[in-house]
Copies of this chain bind each other. A is one copy, B any other.
Amino acid sequence: MFEEMVKKPASWLSGDGTSAGIVISSRVRHARNISNFPFPPVADQAHKEKILSLFKAALAKNSHFKKGNLLISPEVTDLDRTFLVERHLISPEFLQGKSFQGVFINKDETLSVMINEEDHLRIQALQGGLKLDECYQLSSQAEEELGKILKFDYDSEFGFLTSCPTNVGTGMRASILIHLPGLVLTREVDGVISKMTKSSIAVRGFYGEGSDVLGNLFQISNQNTLGKSELEILESISKVVAQVVEAEEKARETLFKDAKDQIEDKIWRAYGILKHARMLSSTEVMNLLSALRLGVGCGTINQVSLNQINEILVLSQPAHLQKYFNRQMDANERDATRAELVRLKLNGKGKSNASH
């Protein structure tokens, strides 16, 4: 399964979809818990084992989940675990040396379910570009199918009950991964973020909660799930995203009006370094790809596609790199191999053409 995944970029990396030049991906997840079991953080091993087997049984019964794989800890190696985090399929803390945790991933990676994470089930739909509605439909449908077999904890007053109070209610979170180099370069990003956080929107880094902003990539999601319907949440986040996309587009226009030479220079240098460097750290790649993505989005560079950029973004992460080249590497070796991979991918070549 991993063999296949590393060769084939996830469908959300396609680089198409609405606002694909600015919005990298959309995601909707539903947190659900099964009635009469304690939440995972306080559940004992026997409870967790039972939850996992209930989920397995549900999978087996429902044709909706036919095409996919279920990975279960502790059978997942550290490298594979990191690979899944890099792929945005599991949260960073998940599967880390714990038993009876698992993750179901469908064939094209658009749908996944984490079992015994913070909640019994975390159902997630992930797609490229601005596709919150599609993600919502996918996640809702999976939730509905599972709900036909499993009985979810539901309170008529509060809604779905969850381990953390911020998820109570719809248990739904909608988020997008968005690229905001224009707002960062014009120094408007802090203002835009503080305006968002005031209206219950959370802004996070590349790997979600508590992670750093890398390559000017931000995750924007709804903060609360209580007291609003799913459609209200979707509508409010879509509205905010539209505003941010517009602000980013304006910032880019301003940049190209006021400092065209400097911006184009920055973009072309990033391209030149990516195409020729022999050592690249993952942080540097993220930053250079940011400039390159800006260049592709603004038409400065047309030798490279968003798909290529997205693929490099994912493949150049440490675990992907090691799985791609099928060997363990120390940091120094990774930097050299990462540079090799970036050159290959920018020249439009795959693994089979690599000379090493």
Once the chains are docked, how many angstroms separate the CA of A269 from the CA of B273? 5
Q: Which residues from chain B contact A262 at a C-beta distance below 8 Å?
A: 279
Chain A interface mostly: helix
Once the chains are docked, how many angstroms separate the CA of A278 from the CA of B264? 7
A278 touches B268 (CB 8 A): yes
Interface residues of A in 264-308 (CB under 8 A from B): 264-265, 268-269, 271-279
Residue in contact with A268 in the complex, picked from B265, B276, B332, CB distance below 8 Å = B276
A261 within 8 Å of B (CB atoms):
yes
Residue in contact with A261 in the complex, picked from B265, B272, B278, CB distance below 8 Å = B278
Once the chains are docked, how many angstroms separate the CA of A277 from the CA of B276? 13
Chain A, interface size: which category?
10 to 19
Q: Which residues from chain B contact A264 at a C-beta distance below 8 Å?
A: 278
Q: Which residues from chain B contact A272 at a C-beta distance below 8 Å?
A: 269, 272-277
CB A131 to nearest CB in B, in angstroms, measures: 33
A339 within 8 Å of B (CB atoms):
yes
Residue in contact with A339 in the complex, picked from B265, B271, B277, B336, CB distance below 8 Å = B265
Interface residues of A in 299-356 (CB under 8 A from B): 332, 335-336, 339
CB A259 to nearest CB in B, in angstroms, measures: 10
Once the chains are docked, how many angstroms separate the CA of A278 from the CA of B265? 4
Binding site for B on A (CB under 8 A): 261-262, 264-265, 268-269, 271-279, 332, 335-336, 339
